[in-house]
Structure 1
């Protein structure tokens, strides 16, 4: 099976996001890892709230709030990864490849009793 994602494209987006945030001064001082992680969590919480209430976004009113908040979470993740010099794109590609080999990620196994369910 061919590689599922273009890691160079993700890495380029990661660098562009981080450069914009550096230029805005967000990285002038060392960032607290816990705070950065909780900012990601807050974006996910906002996505859930928007989905639960069926809201459109306040800043991009032509888009559903869930869509914009997931974008915010991805932006925060990629910015943090760049700031900490982490290869998230490479890890994503490897994790996707690994998941293809996992029994608990196979459709027939998830459908069984005690399969992965919400």
Structure 2
């Protein structure tokens, strides 16, 4: 996963490149509605970056289509937490983003 840095005549922030390694659970709350959670680490690919803790809660719904096929629609919040090297206090910082998932599930 790559987060692009800023570059202009006054500022040059390097790109942040990580490989997320996560494990999670999905719990069916109803016939088609579910909640899920993932935990793991974001492993840095650039020198000078630190490994970050990753956590991600989400919800979704599976819609039945023809036969055994389904459409899976989900939304989740993913946060990456770690120490900020650029702060004077060297405090723990969290950055997050929201992801939307559209998946077609083949009923084999």
TM-score, normalised to structure 2's length? 0.18
Structure 1 or 2: larger helix share?
A: 1
| Higher relative contact order structure (alpha carbons within 8 Å, sequence separation ≥ 6) | 1
Structure 1 or 2: larger strand share?
A: 2
TM-score, normalised to structure 1's length? 0.17
Instruction: Give 1 or 2 for the bigger CA radius of gyration.
Output: 2
